[in-house]
């Protein structure tokens, strides 16, 4: 099963991906995570990506498409994958179509998590992430049992450098200008499914699971 999660920054793509990849045993491919890892390791890719990510801007299509193309060719994607944060431009979506043809497969589901812009700022500025296992929390909406400590692995929690108010504004503008037009691209193809991402985390997860199982 090949799935794409779409939605604005803070819609809950990463949070929902944690549950879905466990349930369906498919790899979680997050371009944002790939860029953050490369930035941490200070690779050539990381240094280039940092120029954009730190400003809340999208990394170039050429670089981003190259990473995803390479990743999708790995054997663990043969039985399906979950793309989180890709594609984000029409060019990326067209490139993905070509990659799918070359691999002899196709996208089964595009899930769009809808959350009103007014909620996104609070979600992003309150987000905390585990340094060790990557689990996502929110200081108010999904707090860990012990402040600043991951429930799953006792790792330390940190705040992403692009989760400041100013950068969130730029990221939301990038979404509106470059990514939102993709919704009609997938709507026209007939595989876009809308989910209300403003509901409780578990409710959203249950709805996505039903959609992917073809039961909704
Ligand atoms: P990326 O890492 O993809 O960030 P994003 O799209 O901005 O998405 P986020 O990770 O911020 O949000 P999310 O939807 O995963 O929300 P989450 O589940 O964490 O990209 C980062 C950067 O990398 C980009 O700005 C760009 O520079 C670059 N990049 C990445 N992909 C690219 C591409 N394809 N092309 C070019 N550049 C690219 O939830 C947010 C918070 O809300 C959490 O605290 C969570 O606990 C809480 N929450 C979640 N769900 C709920 C709920 N239902 N109720 C209450 N709280 C909730
Ligand atoms: Zn952890």
User: Rounded distance, CA 82 to CA 99, Å?
Assistant: 15
Which sign, positive or negative, has the C-alpha torsion 151, 3, 50, 38? positive
Cα–Cα–Cα angle for 118, 122, 123, nearest 5°? 105
Q: Is 12 in the pocket of ligand 1 (CB under 6 A)?
A: yes
Give the pLDDT confidence of 195-206 residue by residue, as tens digits. 999 999 999 999
Residue ranges at the known binding site for Zn(2+): 130, 133, 150, 153
For residue 38, pLDDT beyond 80: yes
pLDDT (0 to 100) of residue 13: 97
pLDDT (0 to 100) of residue 118: 87
Q: Which of 127, 139, 161, 174 gets mutated to test ligand 1 (max ligand atoms within 8 A of its CB)? A: 127
Clarify whether 213 is annotated catalytic.
no
Helix/strand/coil for 73:
coil
pLDDT (0 to 100) of residue 48: 95
For residue 150, pLDDT beyond 80: yes
ipTM for the whole complex: 0.96
Pairing of strands 127-130, 136-138: antiparallel
CB neighbour list of residue 106: distance below 8 Å, 6 or more residues apart: 2, 100
Question: For ligand 1, atom 40, which residue shows the shortest CA distance?
Answer: 10
pLDDT (0 to 100) of residue 216: 76
Chain mean pLDDT for the chain? 96
Report the DSSP beta bridge partners of residue 39. none
Clarify whether 13 is annotated catalytic.
yes
Identify the band that residue 58 occupies on the pLDDT scale cut at 50, 70 and 90. Answer: very high
For residue 103, pLDDT beyond 90: yes
pLDDT (0 to 100) of residue 32: 96
pLDDT (0 to 100) of residue 215: 83
112-120 average pLDDT score: 95
Q: Which of 6, 14, 206 gets mutated to test ligand 1 (max ligand atoms within 8 A of its CB)? A: 14
pTM, two decimal places: 0.95
Closest atom of ligand 1 relative to the 87 alpha carbon? 34
Q: Is 32 in the pocket of ligand 1 (CB under 6 A)?
A: yes
189-213 average pLDDT score: 96
């Amino acid at each position: 099963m090949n799935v794409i999660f779409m939605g604005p920054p803070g819609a809950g793509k990463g949070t929902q991906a944690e549950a879905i990849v466990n349930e369906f045993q498919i790899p979680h491919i997050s371009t944002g995570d790939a860029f953050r890892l490369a930035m941490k390791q200070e690779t050539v890719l990381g240094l280039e990506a940092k120029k954009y990510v730190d400003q809340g801007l999208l990394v170039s299509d050429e670089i981003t498409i190259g990473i995803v193309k390479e990743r999708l060719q790995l054997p663990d994607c043969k039985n399906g994958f979950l793309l989180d944060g890709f594609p984000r431009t029409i060019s990326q979506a067209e490139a993905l179509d070509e990659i799918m043809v070359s691999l002899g497969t196709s996208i089964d589901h595009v899930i769009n998590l809808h959350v009103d812009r007014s909620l996104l700022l609070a979600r992003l500025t309150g987000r905390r992430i585990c340094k060790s296992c990557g689990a996502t929390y929110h200081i108010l909406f999904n707090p860990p049992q012990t402040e600043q400590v991951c429930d799953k692995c006792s790792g330390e929690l940190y705040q992403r450098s692009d989760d400041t108010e100013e950068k969130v504004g730029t990221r939301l503008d990038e979404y509106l200008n470059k990514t939102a037009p993709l919704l009609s691209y997938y709507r026209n193809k007939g595989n876009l499914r809308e989910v209300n991402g403003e509901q409780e985390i578990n409710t959203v997860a249950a709805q996505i699971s039903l959609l992917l199982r073809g039961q909704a």
